[in-house]
Amino acid sequence: MPPTVRALVALLYTTAAATVAVELLNWAYAPEHGFGLAVRTGWAMLRAFGFLILVWHVHRGRAAAKPLGLILAVTTVFAVGRLIVPRSGVPPLPGALGFVLLTACCLAVTVLLYRVPTVGAHLVRHPNRLVITRDGIGWQEGAPRRPAAAARALAARAAAFTYAPLMVVPALVSLGQVVPDQLDRLPVVVLWLVFAVIVGNALLPILIFLIRGRRWAGVALFVVTLVVLAVDLPLCAWLLGVDGLVRDGGPLLAAAAVALWGARPVPSTTGVRVPAPRAESTLADTVP
């Protein structure tokens, strides 16, 4: 691997460790350790495992490492930042310094993935797929026919896959609040969880066709994103207040922005045809 790729791998390990360290610091300095803080902390620490998966993609030179790294970096900053800021007062100094370090790591990861040519030249492989050829059935690399569209579609897919867990987290936090004292709101929370599961399953076929460049899949993702925001944000505000809207709605808005950016149609290059390779001329071709 080139030196810049090795530096990226080391940075990803550092970011994963910093994510765990900052969350442990926040847990130690938190004034209260309730069910909501436990759910949010557990979800934030799962991103450390996500960075390890990203290392696996980088080692294998997968093109999917770029969108995965982008959505991990963006949502990690939001997820950790919402836990550092307390409900009242200022955040503790160790937690704030750790968050600054983690933000710098996420920014450096994004720059290395998208702005360093040697890293981009390394991340060019695509997953193998089952194909039928003249020699029979086998596996070969499934390179996209429209690389520009596929690159943004990969980013949209990585972002859209986070919709369901980003809704489950505030729903579970709300479940811990309504069960003892507000049982009249319990059906709403249960429907919220069911809605998150339905959205996760509905996105699967949409994202499959989005990768294949189907225009209707981008429109469908746009509609689903608007429905998710229209349901999740008001529920966060109603059940968790403004604090919950900021802490749990912010990461969802960030993921939705990345998904909608990736689902935009790529300008068509109609009228430009790649000529077929021509055979070498022979002496007989030059004879009038």
Query: What would the pLDDT profile of 165-193 be if each residue is shown by its tens digit?
Result: 889 988 888 887 777 777 788 899 999 99
- Contacts of residue 137, defined as CB under 8 A and 6 or more positions apart, other chains included, come to 130, 131
pTM given for the model: 0.72
What total of structural domains would you count in the chain?
2
- Angle, helices 65-84 vs 147-160, to 10°: value is 30
In a domain, 100, yes or no: yes
Give the single-character DSSP code of 125: B
Q: What angle do CA 61, 63, 65 make, to 5 degrees?
A: 85
**Are residues 98 and 139 part of one domain?**
yes
Partners of 136 in the β-ladder:
133
Beta-strand (E) ranges in the chain? 128-133, 136-141
In a domain, 275, yes or no: no
- Amino acid making up residue 28: A
**Are residues 40 and 130 part of one domain?**
yes
**Are residues 192 and 125 part of one domain?**
no
**Are residues 187 and 129 part of one domain?**
no
Supply the range of the domain harboring residue 152.
144-267
Residue identified by tokens 């990861």 is 109
Token pair for 242: 């403004």
pLDDT tens per residue, range 206-240: 988 887 778 888 899 999 999 999 999 999 999 88
In the Cβ-directed half-sphere of 140, how many Cα atoms lie within 13 Å? 9
* Phi/psi of residue 61, nearest 5 degrees: 65, 30
**Are residues 158 and 58 part of one domain?**
no
Q: What angle do CA 48, 53, 59 make, to 5 degrees?
A: 130
Token pair for 192: 């919220």
Distance CA 284, CA 78 (A): 69
pLDDT tens per residue, range 36-91: 777 777 777 788 888 999 999 999 888 888 888 888 888 888 777 766 766 666 66
* Phi/psi of residue 285, nearest 5 degrees: -70, -25
- 258 and 71 Cβ atoms separated by less than 8 Å: yes
pLDDT for the residue 277: 40
**Are residues 207 and 196 part of one domain?**
yes
